[in-house]
């Protein structure tokens, strides 16, 4: 099962996980230094919701929280 919203198509995005060491200049140090960068994935906030079918039935779909909040899914 893909981690994609069935309504808007929102899926996983990529980014960086940055590790910094040292005391910030604001606190009297010489500043933060980046010691490691690794890739990571940001997953959408998907919820399994029962959605009304066009034929009078119900189906369970993966819908992101922003679509639920906006009322784009006809949740039963």
Instruction: Give the residue among 69, 74, 75 at the shortest CA–CA distance from 10.
Output: 69
Q: What is the pLDDT of residues 16-31, one digit of tens each?
A: 999 999 999 999 999 9
CATH number, domain 13-70: 2.20.150.30
pLDDT given at position 28: 96
Sequential DSSP letters for 5-68: -TTT----EEEEEEEEES--GGGTSS--EEEEEEEEEE---EEEEEEE-TTS-EEEEEEEHHHH
Angle (nearest 5°) at CA 46 between 63 and 60: 45
What integer best gives the mean pLDDT of the chain? 92
Domain ranges of the chain: 13-70
């Amino acid at each position: 099962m893909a981690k994609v919203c069935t309504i808007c198509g929102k899926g996983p995005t990529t980014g960086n996980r940055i590790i910094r060491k040292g005391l910030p200049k604001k606190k009297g140090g010489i500043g933060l230094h980046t010691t490691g960068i690794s890739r990571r994935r940001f997953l959408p906030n998907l919820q399994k919701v029962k959605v009304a079918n066009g034929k009078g039935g119900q189906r369970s779909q993966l819908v992101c929280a922003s679509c639920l909040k906006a009322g784009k899914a006809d949740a039963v």
